[in-house]
Structure 1
């Protein structure tokens, strides 16, 4: 299975990196974080998966002490990079929706580079005490036949600390961010519907007052000096038309001929105002690295909603795949089941190839980026 995951994950993540880097339409802050996440998964596929496949095949570690130290270092470090990157994406969505006016100032290119660097620096710096043997050490765990974090001479291990700092707290923060996002979006939607209903009622009341004023009978002025009018119409179907009526008649003819579109009825005014609002929320300032609005708090376009769902699915898949083996390591004395350990490791390895599939299934923009890269490669080969 490790070989299968590597065969899917290596080309999938490599294509994702190249496609998002080349496609200008998806060149935003979220795409930068997704590229960083794909780089982490690609390194895991290239380094950890072949060693894990060899260990499963031989049922023992056969690659020496140096790789035995590098193998858990890369596994724990890349795990932290992936989770911190997902956290960075979630914070990006949170700032864009909850604090849209400060978004362009935070997500500039130089700050994005700093955020990407911090995901790697924090992840691997947290493992320096273990690498140097100060707090636990990297070595062969004979119970599982693979290399992991072992207890030092004093019986100390950083696994619980790493679980809290590099797994539990980021996951908790991600959940809180999503809860806050959904609360703000729901609140904004309720307020928007209230404003639309008030405007609709106001327009209806003004229209009804206008119609009542037009229905009031106007007194016929008597001719001066008691003279009879020059022309008298006995046919009730014949009446004078003012300029507005003439304009309305010409407009009706034009509508029937298909020259212009009919004016919307009164009931559709709220729909028109919501369309204007959608047009405003789609406006993107030049310095905004996400194609989202920075004008309205809690307002999301359809594209933002799809992207938010995709990030939530990525986090859910990450949590489902990493939580079993993490709990197994924390509560090792309780869960001494060999088959459970193997299943947990396979779930971890599956995360390296599942993200490109999620991108392709849930994002039409990423699909177009993939397709554009494939078509560009075909055109180069044909030339």
Structure 2
């Protein structure tokens, strides 16, 4: 399979401009993909378990979307990153046509899922802070499930035109040994997917956080005026927790934007005749990092999430200690029973 793939690539190169990645760049990319795969799987899996087992966080609508975001990152780390590592190690795609078509579906689909989950989180924060009267109606259990289903279905529907060959197609670009969205009849949906799946959601998120910021500033001014008139009213603990959670989610979006924007710009602006291959590799590594960093941001930036992690680790530690003590007690019983058995035999 590998030799056949290499032969096809060689014949293709004769009539096509060759994109040459330095071996240093491909080794760095492979190393980062493997590292992010291991760290991302552990981090996202621990986050999912910790949030599911934490009753205090489980009641928040935001938690449902955070879990959805973690699941998307977990799929990316489990499937996309190992395939990407092998691609850079071999400097070729060696897994066949079926996986070559699945790879970009999962990659672009997961990016869209991540962005749409952040849109849902941002709108949730906006409604909670600015439109509290509608919150219970908009974020009932049924409503949350409907939003989650819509996010996942819509994100992957964006990939249906190239997957079915209606608009562009999915396949191998031999000059970059990448499985991606290719042009068909000189047409490609990449810019449309970039617009609908990335730019528009980001605009909505930025607009919503701007409104949230305005509401928070307005509320702070009211609180300050109350204090000046002698009213000692202070924000409740729930209000403080909501404010911290909102800041955390804004930080998550900012990090996602920093990680993914370079790759999206490279794929749109430097797509046909790739002039800066090393820049594509570095942009890809930055994008992979977005699936890894969220658990660290949760742990570093929010007390409630730290408590959830702490409870999980305490539970695991106590389970291991109980298992060890039980094993030791069983060994002691066996040791004590041996003389009795020999005495009985004599």
Q: TM-score, normalised by structure 2?
A: 0.81
> Quick one: distance in 1 between partners of 2:115 and 2:167?
23
2:133 partner SS: coil
Pair 1:274 & 2:306 matched: no
Shift of 1:191: 2.7
Q: Which residue of 2 aligns with 1:35?
A: 67
Pair 1:307 & 2:245 matched: yes
> Quick one: distance in 2 between partners of 1:77 and 1:96?
28
Pair 1:352 & 2:296 matched: no
Aligned length in residues: 289
> Quick one: distance in 2 between partners of 1:314 and 1:191?
29
- Does the CA-based 8 Å contact 2:226-2:233 persist in structure 1? no
1:101 partner SS: helix
Consecutive unaligned residues of structure 1, counting only runs of 5 or more, are 201-269, 283-291, 293-300
CA RMSD of aligned residues (A): 1.3
Pair 1:58 & 2:90 matched: yes
Shift of 1:195: 3.6
Q: Which residue of 2 aligns with 1:166?
A: 197
Q: Which residue of 1 aligns with 2:329?
A: none
Q: Which residue of 1 aligns with 2:156?
A: 124
> Quick one: distance in 2 between partners of 1:184 and 1:309?
14
Consecutive unaligned residues of structure 2, counting only runs of 5 or more, are 1-31, 323-346
Q: TM-score, normalised by structure 1?
A: 0.73
Pair 1:76 & 2:108 matched: yes
Pair 1:88 & 2:47 matched: no
Q: Which residue of 2 aligns with 1:342?
A: 281
Shift of 1:335: 5.8
- Of Structure 1 and Structure 2, which has the larger fraction of its residues in helix? 2
What does 1:358-377 align with in structure 2 at a 5 Å threshold?
A: 358-377=297-316
Question: Can you list the C-alpha shifts for 1:299-345, whole angstroms capped at 9, x where unaligned?
Answer: xx221222111111111111111111111111125762011000011
CA distance change for structure 1 residues 93 and 53 in 2, over 3 Å: closer, same or farther?
A: same
2:305 partner SS: helix
Q: Which residue of 2 aligns with 1:320?
A: 258
CA distance change for structure 1 residues 335 and 140 in 2, over 3 Å: closer, same or farther?
A: closer
Larger Rg: 1
Query: Structure 1: which 4+ aligned runs deviate by more than 3 Å?
Result: none
| Aligned residue among 168, 185, 189 for 2:216 | 185
